A and B are shown apart, each in its own frame.
Chain A
Amino acid sequence: MDNVTTGEPLIVLDSVNKWFGPLHVLDDVSLSVGRGEVVVVIGPSGSGKSTLCRTINRLEPINSGTITFDGQALPAEGKALAKLRSEVGMVFQSFNLFAHKTILENVTLGPIKVRGEKPAAARERGLALLDRVGIANQADKFPAQLSGGQQQRAAIARALAMQPKAMLFDEPTSALDPEMVGEVLDVMTSLARDGMTMVVVTHEMGFARHAANRVIFMADGKLVEDAAPAEFFANPRSERAKDFLSKILTH
């Protein structure tokens, strides 16, 4: 896959630190993600990779350092922060579809309430998005009536409905039954191919190999390696990465 990075990077983290009480979850993390780039973040649990992902739309505030998105420092709160979040799609491990709304309502809620789109237009676009992720026939059902894989695809459609500049995926397949992982990864792969800027926290090494432009390896809150996937999987430089890969790739 070509590296399509051009111009200034879309997401820049500079010396970001975060503590949960005494726990240093992000330790001086610096990272930049170019437009159209797909960055996969891997690492052992507790390494801070989910927290890193969540700081980018400020679901987690940081203690020091700076994060810029599209040339602007992340706003601290209020309308400006809501606007930024509307431009960054987020997909959660546990889907988090709105339980009291139908699948189509989940997808159209943001466009209608945040962007002020006309309901009819939002519905039409919502249905097209549901079709794109392969669940148009589930539009009028409630989240609890869908399988995990279908719910996660609906959640991706909900994020895409805001026409985001970037998408964050926080372990999108970790809560799925194994047979449903593929359908979600397929949707993500097609998004990557279409040039979406993506930060993906995952344990799916196959996805990292074939869809990522870069692989970030984190351990103990530190960004330990930042390399192209082929290079990272063939020649990890750090002991931590070697150890991690030996544990997950031998099975």
Chain B
Amino acid sequence: MDVFTDPKNFDAFVSGFLWILKLTGASAVCALVLGVLLAAMRVSPVPVLRGFGAAWVNIFRNTPLTLVIFFCYFGLFVTLGLSLSDDLELNIYWLGVIGLSIYTAAFVCEAVRSGINTVPTGQAEAARAIGLSFAQTLRIVVLPQAARSVVAPLGSVLIALCKNATIVGTIGLMESSNVMKDLINSYGNAVIPIFLVFAGTFAALLIPTGYFFGWLANKLAVKR
């Protein structure tokens, strides 16, 4: 039971979760920006944009994330030669961020779009009636109200993203699940403790996240 008392193993454990946090952080920002843009496209009056948004959602929401991440590595990097860093590890990290972002953006888009649908149509009509443009109506009137009802679902998307980040391990990043696999290979007698420590760490990160988003959603709710 001295798996984690060995400093080498403990460092691997910490750096594995740091990768997860970095993947989650960068992908969350990219996916949020991309997802809101996609949602704006899906409610826009321009058919081409609506089609683009719908196609994105349908393609990436219905493709297993493992395939998306594999495509980023074998398609974008190996075949098309897209290299994002000279450092091998950082290159894999950024390819992972791309994959996680385009995949998660589809879910963010749908959460935001359902949030937009909770805003009564009269709000947008009133905004247009005083002469606001489509973009202004969305930015000033609709999205701020949609955002409040979308906080809780976005929390779920973030939690899923954090767990999904382990899939970047499949293209070679030494994130937590890869570290766990290595430790289990070396310490076959401690499989269950190792598993519990990794699962417990995820739970310790994500359970408070869930409660935080629930609290935030209540605090920001719009009174009607």
Residues of A within 8 A of B (CB): 57, 59, 77, 79, 82-90, 92, 94-100, 109-110, 113-114, 142, 144-145, 155, 158-159, 162
Q: A92-B126, A159-B130 are in contact. List 19 more A-B contacts (CB 8 A).
A: A59-B125, A59-B129, A77-B45, A85-B128, A88-B129, A89-B129, A92-B125, A96-B125, A100-B148, A109-B132, A110-B130, A110-B132, A113-B136, A114-B130, A144-B223, A145-B223, A158-B126, A158-B130, A162-B130
**B7 close to A (CB within 8 Å):** no
- Decide if B223 touches A99 in the complex (CB within 8 Å): yes
A207 to B120, CA, bound (A): 29
- Taking the closest CB of chain A, its distance from the CB of B203, in whole angstroms, is 35
Nearest A residue to B145, CB-CB? A100
A59 to B125, CA, bound (A): 7
- Taking the closest CB of chain A, its distance from the CB of B35, in whole angstroms, is 21
B145 contact set on A, CB distance < 8 A: 99-100
- Taking the closest CB of chain B, its distance from the CB of A8, in whole angstroms, is 23
Given contacts A109-B140, A113-B136, A142-B223, contact A98 B131 (CB under 8 A): no
- Taking the closest CB of chain A, its distance from the CB of B62, in whole angstroms, is 32
A159 to B131, CA, bound (A): 10
- Taking the closest CB of chain B, its distance from the CB of A236, in whole angstroms, is 32
Which range contains the number of B residues in contact with the other chain? 20 to 34
Name the prevailing secondary structure of the B interface residues.
helix
- Decide if A79 touches B133 in the complex (CB within 8 Å): yes
Nearest A residue to B130, CB-CB? A110
A162 to B148, CA, bound (A): 28
Q: Which of A79, A83, A90, A95 lies in contact with B129, CB distance below 8 A?
A: A90
A98 to B145, CA, bound (A): 9
A184 to B187, CA, bound (A): 78
- Decide if B126 touches A96 in the complex (CB within 8 Å): yes
A16 to B203, CA, bound (A): 63
- Decide if B130 touches A86 in the complex (CB within 8 Å): yes
Interface centre among B126, B127, B129, B132 (most CB of A within 10 A): B129
- Decide if B123 touches A99 in the complex (CB within 8 Å): yes
A-B contact pairs, 30 of them (CB 8 A): A59-B125, A59-B128, A59-B129, A79-B133, A82-B131, A82-B132, A84-B131, A85-B130, A85-B131, A90-B126, A90-B129, A92-B122, A92-B125, A95-B122, A96-B120, A96-B126, A98-B123, A99-B123, A99-B222, A100-B144, A100-B148, A100-B222, A109-B132, A110-B132, A113-B140, A142-B223, A145-B223, A155-B126, A158-B130, A162-B130
